[in-house]
Amino acid sequence: GEDVEQSLFLSVREGDSSVINCTYTDSSSTYLYWYKQEPGAGLQLLTYIFSNMDMKQDQRLTVLLNKKDKHLSLRIADTQTGDSAIYFCAESNDYKLSFGAGTTVTVRA
């Protein structure tokens, strides 16, 4: 959606960290999400962050939220080939999700 923006492509070497960035416009968003979509599949919820938090870590995933700048990022440590997918950032307001266009992450050996 036009309210959520992401870069479209990211290429990363296996074992390196990936950082996917997202900006959003709705300051009243309560939760922000990262979803992963593999080819031909639905969306898998990776992680989420409540809007009053600025960081959340979950194993290899780290989410950073800068509410002032309305900037969200997802860092994947030690990126593996299985991490190749499209990653969608989404904001939640009034129980509806607004998605970004998705960032295609390609992991190269």
Partner 1 sequence: GAVVSQHPSRVICKSGTSVKIECRSLDFQATTMFWYRQFPKQSLMLMATSNEGSKATYEQGVEKDKFLINHASLTLSTLTVTSAHPEDSSFYICSARSSWGGIQETQYFGPGTRLLVL
Please say which residue, 12 or 22, places its beta carbon nearer to partner 1. 22
| Cα–Cα distance measured from residue 107 to residue 81, given in angstroms and rounded to the nearest whole number | 5
Q: Which stretch binds partner 1 (CB under 8 A): 13-21, 31-39, 61-69, 74-82?
A: 31-39
- Is 25 in contact with 3 (CB distance < 8 Å)? yes
**Cβ partners under 8 Å of residue 16, min gap 6:** 79
Q: Is 1 or 15 the residue whose CB approaches partner 1 more closely?
A: 1
For partner 1, the binding residue among 1, 17, 27, 66 (CB under 8 A) is: 1
Residues near 2 by beta carbon (within 8 Å), at least 6 away in sequence = none
Q: Which residues bind partner 1 (CB under 8 A)?
A: 1, 30-31, 33, 35, 40-45, 48, 88, 92, 95-97, 99-102
